[in-house]
Every structure is written in C-alpha cells, then in structure tokens.
Amino acid sequence: MKKILVLILSLLFVLSGCFQADNTKESSTKVNPNDKAVILYFSKPEMNDSDTVAGASRVVTENEEILGNVEQLATWIAEDTKYPLAKIETTENYPDDHEVLVDQATTERSSDFRPELKPLNVDLTEYDTIYIGYPIWWSDLPMAMYSFFEKNDLAGKTIIPFSSHGGSGLAGTVETVEKLSKDASVETSNVLSISRDDIPNSRKEVENWLKSF
C-alpha cells in the first residue's frame, strides 16, 4: 500500500511539472543585450463616442491619461527596458470619432493610400534592434505603417513586432513586415499580440514576453 501511495505521489509530481512548464514560444531572433534598441509605435486612441470598457482603441490610466492600446504596450516596454520611445505619426491627424475613423481607414485601404509621416524624433541609424508596435486595422497593418516601412531602410536591423487586435490576432501582419523590411531580421515566432479587451490587465504578460528573449 505504501509503495502504491509513493508511486501515485511521484506520478502527480511529474504531471504537475508538465502543466507548469513554460509555454512561451521560442524566439526566432536572438537579441543581443549589447545592441542599441529603440521602441517605435503607431497608435490612435479613440477620444469621442467610445466605451473603453467595451474595448475601444484606448486605455484610461490611473492618472486619467488616455492612451492608445499600442501606446500603452509601448510605454510598458519602455519602462521595463529603459529603451527610448518614439511615435510614428501622420502629418494629418486621424479623426477622434470611431465611425469617422473607420470610414477614413477603409478609404485609405481601398485606394492603397500612403499617409505622409512626421519625422521621427530618433535617428534609426543609431539602433540595431527596433521594437515596432501597431494595431490591427481590418486584418492588416494601418496604412501609416506601410508608409513607415517603405520610407525607412532597416537593412541589417533586428525587428521585433508587437500588436493589439480586436479578435483577428496578428492577421498575417508579421509576414507583411518581413516583406516590407528588406534585409532585416524579423522576429516571427515570439511576437506579442494582445486583444484590445485585455490590454488594461496585460502588464505582466508584457513583462514575461520581454524576459523570453
């Protein structure tokens, strides 16, 4: 009887170890901690007629500051890594109203439009690794991201994408980033992708993701 009990306890211990195993995806890109890195992001918080609880593209912080979902992720990454942070911005501001924003983004996509971008406040030639964040707009990159990748030569750099979505996941955007970032090394297997509904409570997930590299 005692031997059986020992056998059962041993089996439970093994099973427990299996269930607690780290299921983080293995990184396809080896990040050198000595590399200079920067965090870039495109984010558009919806300011009007949006219910943040329902998962609109914004987060209200404890200090009542309104951030876009991707902006919140980028801010946490910057806090944990101490890397500089820069926003990808269009020269013409997107509308705050959700319905108007949807109409404009739809028109841009159907016409394959490339919005003009403001100059970045960082010099990308100084960095080896670039964390790039973007929301999923209609199962694709926002058109501003196409403008960014086509405008900047990222050859030889390591690109690490991160994203927020409304249910579509990454929607093939990492492959698109690979195509647009010619001669760059793009992380493809360990990409941070969080539903906009979960952003406010995802601080720990961001921290664990950064530790996985």
pLDDT at residue 17 above 50?
Answer: no
pLDDT at residue 12 above 50?
Answer: no
Residues 147-156, mean pLDDT to the nearest whole number: 97
Cα–Cα separations (whole angstroms), residue 139 to 33, 40, 88, 136, 142: 33, 20, 20, 6, 9
Q: How confident is the model at residue 25 (pLDDT cuts 50, 70, 90)?
A: low
Among candidate residues 29, 31, 43, the one with its CA nearest the CA of residue 178: 29
pLDDT at residue 13 above 80?
Answer: no
Residue type, 107: T
Residues 61-71, mean pLDDT to the nearest whole number: 70
**Tens digits of residue pLDDT in 86-113:** 999 999 999 988 889 889 999 999 999 9
